[in-house]
């Protein structure tokens, strides 16, 4: 075959489906307990929504978006992240007025044109949440604790939470000036950094090439206004009182323009590839910026594939509800219809009342030996054999595939 899944994308099957379902099921449980409800938004939006929300001088907008025109020349983009879409939906359905304290979660595919490597793909999955309408420190603390609980419930060990405050517009103005002055004094900045110095100097702090040159970079904490300082202190007090571990990381800035005040990342040291599992923060201006009533908000997203890399497989297996595999076989072809209707009956009603079964067979035109070989291959637990002699007496054979023993049973007893 000449076709392959596009670079950076993956078919998810076998164990990975088990892993992915496990994460999503855990997420739904935890979100439910925290009072977050699900929202599903389209996988593509007007490209301008992302450009406007994330900011022109960001990695995603500059080089990672999948942008295309539809037949009517509309400029659309596959969503690279969830916050802009959720905020758009929040405003479009007038929840900024009717439900300003909405707490939502989402699960779904995201698309970014990046160089594929372990934990970094072009189509990947995020699980995320947004809490609208609450500017109080409790909303920030709740989101951070929720993100931690989620990762712990998914079986991630050794998480480390980094938090920082980027201040409000006021503090950022002065910080920005100080940064520009500082960066202008640094020799040999990379091309991206030079380009961004004017438009978005904060982004230089996040540069994966030049970061080691920035030892004497000004610290945001020296520029926070009193309100922002108090706010950051209150959030930390709430985190401490909930027994939540974190470190203040002054170097942490997030890649997107919409963040205000709190930003955070949760890392693990159990993987040696991409170690940031989840990230988020507050974005108090976004709702208004894209056309809604001024509404504060805070949210986060985790990358499912990265979490899958960080979790030991036994966690997934332990979580599997045991479905017993049952195979319905026929020793004589003319019993096919009876065997088929029996298979449907146990699928619907269970076998001896046990509904946790997966039923396979019967298969037409295959010798019993071949049917049993197949049953072995898919690791069936019991095979129920329809054979003429026994069937005449209302009986079938039940073969235990593990210890190779066989008994006769009345069909009506099953
Ligand atoms: P990074 O610095 O690793 O590129 P990011 O800041 O771009 O991450 P966010 O936009 O905050 O990431 O997305 C939140 C989470 O989504 C990340 O912490 C990561 O777990 C996951 N994620 C982001 N980009 C990818 C990708 N290309 N492939 C897989 N997972 C990703
Ligand atoms: Mg990135």
DSSP string, 7-68: TT-----THHHHHHHHHHHHHHHHHHHTT-EE----SEEEHHHHHHHH-TTSHIIIII--EE
Q: Count CA atoms within 13 Å of residue 176 on its CB side.
A: 14
Q: By three-state DSSP, how is residue 105 classified?
A: strand
Domain-wise residue ranges, the chain: 15-168+225-316, 322-413
Residue 303: predicted pLDDT: 97
Residue 258: pLDDT band by 50, 70, 90 thresholds?
Answer: confident
Residue 315: pLDDT band by 50, 70, 90 thresholds?
Answer: confident
Ligand 1 lined by 203 (C-beta under 6 Å): no
The pLDDT > 70 percentage for the chain reads: 98
Q: How far is the CA of 265 from the centre of ligand 1 (A)?
A: 10
Q: Is the dihedral of CA 71, 75, 79, 85 positive or negative?
A: negative
Topology of domain 15-168+225-316, CATH: BirA Bifunctional Protein; domain 2 (3.30.930)
Q: How far is the CA of 200 from the centre of ligand 2 (A)?
A: 16
Give the lowest-confidence range in 38-47, 226-235, 308-317.
308-317
The pLDDT > 90 percentage for the chain reads: 74
pTM equals 0.88
Ligand 1 lined by 252 (C-beta under 6 Å): no
Whether 75 shows a pLDDT value over 90: the answer reads yes
The yes/no answer on whether domain 322-413 falls in CATH 3.40.50.800 is yes
Q: How far is the CA of 390 from the centre of ligand 1 (A)?
A: 61
Q: Is the model more confident about 232 or about 176?
A: 232
Residue 287: predicted pLDDT: 96
Q: How far is the CA of 199 from the centre of ligand 2 (A)?
A: 19
- The CA angle 12-120-257, to the nearest 5 degrees, is 125
| pLDDT tens-place string over residues 87-140 | 999 999 999 888 888 999 999 999 999 999 999 999 999 999 999 999 999 999
Q: What ligand 1 atom has the least distance to the C-alpha of 276?
A: 18
Q: How far is the CA of 255 from the centre of ligand 2 (A)?
A: 8
Residue 319: pLDDT band by 50, 70, 90 thresholds?
Answer: low
Average pLDDT of the residues of the chain: 93
Which residue CA neighbors atom 24 of ligand 1 most closely? 120
Residue 271: predicted pLDDT: 67
Q: Is the model more confident about 274 or about 369?
A: 369
Ligand 1 lined by 305 (C-beta under 6 Å): yes
Ligand 1 lined by 112 (C-beta under 6 Å): yes
Which residue CA neighbors atom 6 of ligand 1 most closely? 255
Ligand closest to the CA atom of residue 81: 1
Ligand closest to the CA atom of residue 254: 1
Ligand 1 lined by 124 (C-beta under 6 Å): yes
Q: Is the peptide bond before 362 cis (omega within 30 degrees of 0)?
A: yes
What distance in Å separates the CA atoms of residue 105 and residue 371, rounded to the nearest whole number? Answer: 46
Ligand 1 lined by 278 (C-beta under 6 Å): yes
Which residue CA neighbors atom 22 of ligand 1 most closely? 303
Ligand 1 lined by 120 (C-beta under 6 Å): yes
Q: Note whether 303 and 82 are within 8 A (CB).
A: no
Ligand 1 lined by 123 (C-beta under 6 Å): no
Place of tokens 């470190």: 247
Residue 321: predicted pLDDT: 60
What distance in Å separates the CA atoms of residue 359 and residue 62, rounded to the nearest whole number? Answer: 51
Q: Which residues of 252-287 are buried (b: 16+ CB within 10 A; e: fewer)?
A: bbbbbbbbbbbbbbbbbeebeebbebbbbbbbbbbb
Q: Is the model more confident about 246 or about 252?
A: 246
Ligand 1 lined by 128 (C-beta under 6 Å): no
Closest CA to 329 of 344, 339, 321, 319: 339
Q: How far is the CA of 256 from the centre of ligand 2 (A)?
A: 10
Q: Which of 78, 274, 307 to mutate to test the pocket of ligand 1 (most atoms within 8 A of CB)?
A: 274
Q: What is the mean pLDDT of the segment spanning 321-339?
A: 91
Q: What ligand 1 atom has the least distance to the C-alpha of 128?
A: 14
Residue 376: predicted pLDDT: 92
Q: What ligand 1 atom has the least distance to the C-alpha of 119?
A: 29
């Amino acid at each position: 075959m000449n076709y392959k899944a596009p670079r950076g994308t993956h078919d998810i099957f076998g164990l990975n489906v088990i892993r992915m379902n496990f994460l999503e099921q855990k997420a739904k449980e935890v979100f439910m307990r925290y009072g977050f409800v699900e929202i599903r938004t389209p996988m593509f939006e007007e490209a301008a929504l992302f450009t406007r929300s994330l900011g022109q001088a960001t990695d995603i907008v500059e080089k990672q978006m999948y942008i295309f025109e539809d037949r009517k020349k509309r400029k659309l983009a596959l969503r690279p992240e969830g916050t802009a879409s959720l905020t758009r939906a929040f405003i479009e359905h007038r929840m900024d007025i009717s439900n300003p304290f909405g707490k939502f979660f989402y699960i779904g595919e995201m698309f970014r044109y990046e160089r594929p490597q372990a934990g970094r793909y072009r189509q990947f999955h995020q699980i995320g949440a947004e809490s609208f309408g609450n500017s109080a420190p409790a909303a920030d603390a709740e989101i951070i604790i929720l993100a931690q609980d989620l990762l712990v419930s998914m079986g991630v060990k050794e998480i480390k939470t980094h938090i920082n405050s980027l201040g409000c517009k006021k503090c950022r103005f002065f910080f920005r000036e100080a940064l520009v002055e500082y960066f202008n004094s640094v020799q040999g900045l990379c091309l991206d950094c030079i380009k961004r110095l004017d438009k978005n100097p904060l982004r230089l702090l996040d540069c994966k090439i030049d970061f080691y040159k920035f030892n004497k970079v000004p610290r945001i904490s020296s520029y926070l206004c009193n309100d922002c300082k108090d706010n950051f202190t209150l959030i930390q007090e709430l985190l401490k009182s909930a027994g939540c571990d974190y470190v203040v990381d002054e170097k942490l800035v997030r890649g997107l323009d919409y963040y205000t005040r709190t930003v955070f990342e949760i890392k693990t040291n159990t993987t040696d590839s991409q170690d940031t599992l989840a990230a988020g923060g507050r974005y108090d201006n976004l709702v208004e910026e894209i056309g809604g009533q001024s509404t504060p908000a805070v949210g986060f997203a985790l990358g499912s594939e990265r979490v899958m890399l960080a979790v030991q497989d036994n966690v997934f297996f332990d979580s599997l509800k045991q479905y017993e595999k049952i195979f319905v076989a026929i020793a004589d072809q003319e019993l096919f219809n009876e065997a088929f209707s029996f298979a449907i009956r146990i699928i619907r009603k269970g076998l001896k009342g046990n509904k946790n079964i997966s039923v396979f067979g019967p298969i037409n035109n295959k010798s019993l030996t071949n049917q049993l070989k197949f049953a072995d291959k898919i690791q069936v637990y019991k095979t129920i054999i329809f054979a003429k002699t026994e069937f005449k007496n209302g009986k079938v054979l039940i073969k235990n595939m593990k210890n190779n023993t066989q008994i006769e049973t009345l069909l009506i007893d099953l």
